[in-house]
Structure 1
Amino acid sequence: MSRFIGAVNEEKPNTVRQRLKEWYEEGKAKKGEKRSTLEVSSCFAPLLMWVISLLPVSIEKMALALDATTIGNKFVVLSINVLLAGCGIPIAWCIVKANEPGSGQPYWQKLIRQLKEAVPTGWTVIVPADRGLYAPWLYQVIVEAGWHPFLRINHQGLVKISPHGQWQPLDALVSAPGQSWSGQVVCFKTNPLACTLLARWDSGYQEPWLVLTDLEPQMADALWYGLRPSTECVYRDLKSDGWQWQNTRLLDPQRAERLWLAMAVATLKDGYAGWRSGKSISSTRFRATSPPTYYL
């Protein structure tokens, strides 16, 4: 690689090799003059636009999942992952030390705002996230970006089905497997939120899905939340099934963020090669309650 790049740029291979070796470091730690620090966040919007450019032109819907993962007692990674073909690609992330105190709110707000201009006008974006991430401010930030929250909540709490109705337990809406319900509600007596609640309890599961969104009930389906587990593939690809990220010896979060950029691009290229070789990009989809089918 060093010889190839050196030949193209008319540089010595050793010079190129040193630059590649140091690229994830901050500028002052690199050898030579005019060495700069890569600002990873400047790559997030272009990375999402690159993913979008690879999709069939007929696709105008997308799922961006919010999730968090840990690397032992070293790091916590907050990431936004675009879900494609039953798997996912990280397209924006923030890495902090595992023992760092504080809220994730400013990090999520920044990540979402960095991406919102990258989505083409007129596209529908749903944003699934698991129960541990639900917060009223997160719901609002997603709506302000022009996207649609798809946030799962715990079944404890109260809900009001009409503005002047009585509060009732959330778990009363679907009390047994095989039941489903959707409608506009005021959710939670403390910090109430006017939204659409999608509830579904499928046979074989221990508890229901309760999902909050701003979409009209007839325009959304709780089944779409089934896209979110695809984000687990992201971490398997980055860790034990792929790039072995769990074995990193890095200790600096900013350097780790730069390394994630290399892994994200490699994951995208690897995934795209799979799609080109015959794996349908449409194998992950979310379906409207009436035709047509929209693919991710």
Structure 2
Amino acid sequence: MRQALSEWVKERLYLSLDTTMGWNCFCIVWVSVVLRGRTIPVAWQVVNQSSSTVRLWTVQRVLRQTQRVLPTGVEVVLLADRGFAFRASNRSVDDHAVWETFCRYDDKLWSYTDCSLLVMAQHLGVFEVVSFDQHIRQMTGLGIVCVP
């Protein structure tokens, strides 16, 4: 996989992070390259558990595996479901800031998770977001740009 990706000629590489359950007792966490509407797995971890909700360290392990095969000099866009929004991954985004955002936009139907994504994106300087969620799309006036 490393050799195939080393010849990547495009400026941007899209990766997809996802989970799937097997036989209701194994959760597979994987990262895939998105190419022509399909995904090609590049890294994965099988966890013995009956839930598709995984710990942050499991996701970090898969992302480290992925990092080892990525080409240099290519912009990487990681696509993931909002279930992967780990507030613990950035401890400087505190509950108080998220709660203030949640209260400030009480005219919206935003969940606490939606607000935590906004606060984390603003804190990290991540303003391009791929989302089909109507609540995230409502954040365009706050510096978030939804792609497509």
Alignment TM class, shorter chain as reference:
0.5 to 0.7
Paired position in structure 1 for 2:25: 74
Structure 1 portions without partners, runs of 5+: 1-46, 141-156, 161-165, 174-186, 212-216, 225-296
User: Which residue of 2 is the match for residue 223 of structure 1?
Assistant: 147
Deviation (angstroms), 1:131: 1.9
Question: Which runs of 5 or more structure 2 residues have no equivalent in the other structure?
Answer: 91-98, 138-142
**TM-aligned CA deviation for residue 170 of structure 1:** 8.1
Q: Please report how far the alpha carbon of residue 120 of structure 1 lies from its aligned counterpart in structure 2 after TM superposition.
A: 2.8
1:85 aligns with 2:36: yes
- After superposition, the C-alpha distances for 1:90-126 in whole angstroms (9 at most, x for unaligned) are 11001122338x9521111111122324323321101
Contact 1:200 1:209 in 2 (8 A): no
Aligned ranges 1:4-19 → 2 under 5 Å: none
Shift of 1:198: 6.0
**Which residue of 2 is the match for residue 284 of structure 1?**
none
Superposition misfits of 4+ residues, deviation over 4 angstroms:
195-202
Q: TM-score, normalised by structure 2?
A: 0.63
CA apart distance, 1:65:
1.0
Work out which of the residue numbers 12, 27, 50 in structure 1 matches 2:3.
50
- CA shift for structure 1 position 71: 1.4
TM normalised by structure 1 equals 0.35
TM-superposition CA deviations, 1:47-79 (whole Å, max 9, x none): 2x2331454x3x121011110011132311101
1:67–1:53 distance in 2 versus 1, CA, 3 Å: same
Whole-Å Cα distance in 2 between the matches of residues 70 and 80 of structure 1?
A: 15
Q: What SS class does the counterpart of residue 210 from structure 1 fall into?
A: helix
Which structure: larger Rg? 1
Does the 8 Å contact 1:63/1:127 carry over to 2? yes
Question: Could you tell me which residue of structure 1 aligns to residue 76 of structure 2?
Answer: 125
Residues 128 and 147 in structure 2, CA contact (< 8 A), matched pair in contact too: no
Report the alpha carbon displacement of residue 221 of structure 1 after superposing the two structures with TM: 4.5
Give the 5 Å matches for 1:1-296: 47=1, 49-53=2-6, 55=8, 57=9, 59-99=10-50, 103-138=54-89, 159=101, 167-169=104-106, 171=108, 187-188=115-116, 192-193=119-120, 194-195=123-124, 196=126, 208=134, 210=136, 221-224=145-148
Secondary structure of 1:222's match?
Answer: strand
| Cα separation, 2, equivalents of 1:51 and 1:63 | 15
Counterparts of 1:93 and 1:221 in 2: how far apart (Å)? 30
1:12-36 alpha-carbon deviations (Å, 9 max, x no partner):
xxxxxxxxxxxxxxxxxxxxxxxxx
**Greater share of strand residues, 1 or 2?**
2
Deviation at 1:158, TM superposition (A): 5.9
Structure 2 counterpart SS, 1:96: strand
Structure 1 vs Structure 2: percent identity of aligned residues? 23
Would you say how many aligned residue pairs link Structure 1 and Structure 2? 126
CA contact (8 A) 2:45 2:58 kept: yes
